[in-house]
Structure formats: structure tokens, C-alpha cells
Amino acid sequence: MRLLLGLLALSLAQAQNDPTHRIAELEKELAAHIRLLTDWGGLTVYGSLNTELKPAPGRVVFLGDEITLNWKPFFPGSPYLNRGIARQATAQMLVRFRQDVISLKPAAVIIQGGLNDFAGFAGPATVGTISENIMSMAELARANHIRVILASLTPAGPHIARGRILGMNSWLKDYAAKQGLVYLDFYSALTEPGTLDGQIPTAAGYASLAPLTEHAIQAALK
């Protein structure tokens, strides 16, 4: 990791004569790796903000990666909390699950993640390792009387095989059915043209996800 940071810093120094957007990209990547080195689980991202919150009826926590983080505007006027962190894998979400979910005493949690596992952002991952992290989070939630909604993986670019995504989604749907959890199908809603920018939903994509998400929340809270 330190070697990687050194190489990034060198690249940044060499990029001083490059276009501004290239420098900005390298700075962003360097900052992400520094954060990963100093706070692997991302506990400092929402830690202070969480301590300022008071209990709220009907609270729902959205736990996820950049797909959750970039969802703006985020259900204005609702007691929903966005706890997404860019480039996070499910193992990191599990590390912060107690702080960013359980301690907030929500009625329900939406768990969204997995693509970054396949991308290798936190090391090698398989459907098996991702499923174990998902199961651990679901079990922690249910032990604390929090209803669980499992969001499917979204379509992604060619860097992640479509078969891996479909295999993970099949497992999520099957696990949710067996455990009495709610399965939220983001994948099907984002297969229409114009709904994705890479693996991130566009404004139109998020608009299509909103009613599905509200329906899933109401189903979980019944």
C-alpha cells in the first residue's frame, strides 16, 4: 500500500503539466488510498454526524457504496439516512455496520453493495465471500430488531462479468426469500437505455429506483 501511495504521488508530480482534469483524478485517487490506509472501514466518515442524531420514527438507513452515496436528492422530508461511501466493499460495510446502522436504531436497513468487491477494491472477492458479509450484516440487523432489505447489484461495464453479477443477484434473491427478507431488484430497473452512467444510475435511473425502493420499505415495515 505504501508503495502504491508513493507511485501515485510520483504520478501526481509528473502530471503537473497535464490537463487539470488529469491532476484532479490523481488527487482523488491518492486521497482514496490514503483514507483506505488510515481508516479501512470508513468509520470516520459518518461517526461524528451519527452522534448528533436523535431517534426518529420510521428511520431507514441506506448502507452502500457510491451508488447509494450519489443518490441526490435523497428522499427529501423522509426519515431516511444515506450512509453510502464510494469504493467500499461489503467487508468494509460490515466493519461499520454497528456504528452506521445499529447505533442509529432504524426500523429498517437497505444493504446495497457487491460490485466493488468484484472490482477488487478491498482485495479478491467471490460470490461466497460477498454472501458471507451480507449474511453477517443481515443477522446483526435481525438480532437488533431491524428489518432487512437486500438490494441487487446493478448492471456494470465490461470490467465485471455479467455472469458474476447475475449469479450474485440470484443468491441475494434466494437468500431473501428463505430468510423472510425483502429483495429490491435494482438490476431490472436499470437495464433501460439512459438509466446508467457506467455502473452509476443517471438521474433517470435514480428516478426509476425511487418508487421501487419506497415499495420495498413499506413491505419491510408491514
pTM over 0.75: yes
Name residue 131's amino acid: S
pLDDT tens per residue, range 97-130: 999 999 999 999 999 999 999 999 999 999 999 9
Q: If you average pLDDT over residues 148-170, what whole number do you get?
A: 95
The predicted pLDDT at position 196 comes to 96
pLDDT digits (tens, 9 = 90+) for 70-86: 998 999 999 999 999 99
**Ranges of each domain in the chain:** 2-37, 41-221
Q: For the domain with range 41-221, which CATH number is right: 3.40.50.10190, 3.40.50.11400, 3.40.50.300, 3.40.50.1110? A: 3.40.50.1110
- Lowest-pLDDT choice from 6-15, 90-99, 163-172: 6-15
